[in-house]
Each structure stands twice: as C-alpha cells, then as structure tokens.
Amino acid sequence: MTTSGRELQVAVCWSAGWTIYLSGELDAAAAAQMERVGAALAGARIAAADFDLGGVTFVDTTGWAILAAAMSTVEQSGAVTRTRNPSPSIR
C-alpha cells in the first residue's frame, strides 16, 4: 500500500543504452509492473540497463526486493544492470 497514493511510473528509453526511469512509490503495489518491465527487457536480449531512481519518492523493503527481482530477471538474459541517480529520499 502506498503512503501517499503516488503510483509508480515507468519510462523505458534508449539513448546510447537502455535506461528505465522510475518515479513515484516503489512498494508492493508496483510488483506486477516491475515484473513486466523485467520480463520485457529480458525478452529483448539487451546488453545492459540502468534503473534511474531519481524520481522515486518512497521505497520500502518490499520495493527493494521487487527492484532486485526485476534486475535479476534482466541479468539472467545476460545483461548487466545497475541503479543510478538515487533521489535524496532514497539515499
């Protein structure tokens, strides 16, 4: 359940590499969406993906687990993943 009702938004962009921009709250409510993102990227057989956390306003332990699972799914296809640009509230 989100604390402020701000649903997770995901934008996937390619510009000299794949970047997945996340904004909003990363919690249990985001599980299905992050699962779809991970599966789509794994299916695309990309070389690398950055998960940009600059717009994330809230994350709980479930959110971290969901993000880790999505990144693991992408990595199982042979890609390298990393997080970048954590927002102040995430740091």
Per-residue model confidence (pLDDT) at position 45: 87
Inter-residue contact 39 to 9 (CB < 8 Å): no
pLDDT at 53 (0 to 100) = 97
Give the model's pLDDT for residue 32: 95
Confidence (pLDDT) at 1: 41
Residue segments in the chain with a per-residue pLDDT below the cut of 70: 1-5, 16
How far from 15 is each of 2, 18, 36, 90, 91, CA to CA, in Å? Answer: 31, 7, 21, 25, 25
